[in-house]
Amino acid sequence: MIDVTPSDRHSAARVLALIIGANGSVKDCELKTLESLNAFERLDVGRRQFLRLAKESLDDVGQSLSARGHLQPVDVLCFNELLDQVRDRRQRLLVCRLAAAVVTADGRVCPAERSAYEHMLARWHVSTSQVSQAILDDAAHR
């Protein structure tokens, strides 16, 4: 299981909330996936608080991002600022691992989810093989 230090947990939850809201909604299957991975506990955020963060992300970026299917320059600036607040490498891998599970939870990855997810990976210099390894490591510890 990927474990994280106590710092920056709120920022990590905000990043994940933005990823989950990139498709324009928060689906029950996505929340169930997060619950099955103990995501709320691991990010030190309650389910209710996470839902509030996701709603804020939907209001701020999610609805327009979902309609466009890609990040606009203004979105990138805001997203980068949020991404840069998560400094711990292990925490970044945890968020990437959780985001991978969330964007595939409904069996479909929409362009907006892909855009936000791929931007996060690029900004943090995380490869898809590193995310795959994090998923395997996480599964081995469950």
Instruction: Return the CATH architecture of domain 9-140.
Output: Orthogonal Bundle (1.10)
Residue 124 has pLDDT above 80, yes or no: yes
pLDDT over 70 (residue 2): no
At 104 the pLDDT is 94
**Distances from the Cα of 25 to the Cα of 41, 56, 112, 141, angstroms:** 22, 11, 11, 31
Average pLDDT of the chain is 84
pLDDT of residue 7: 46
Cβ pair 93, 13 in contact under 8 A? no
DSSP state of 23: T
The domain limits of the chain are: 9-140
**Which percentage of the chain shows pLDDT scores above 90?**
50
Mean pLDDT in residue range 21-44: 91
58-88 pLDDT, tens digit per residue, is 776 655 665 566 677 777 778 888 899 999 9
Whole-prediction pTM: 0.86
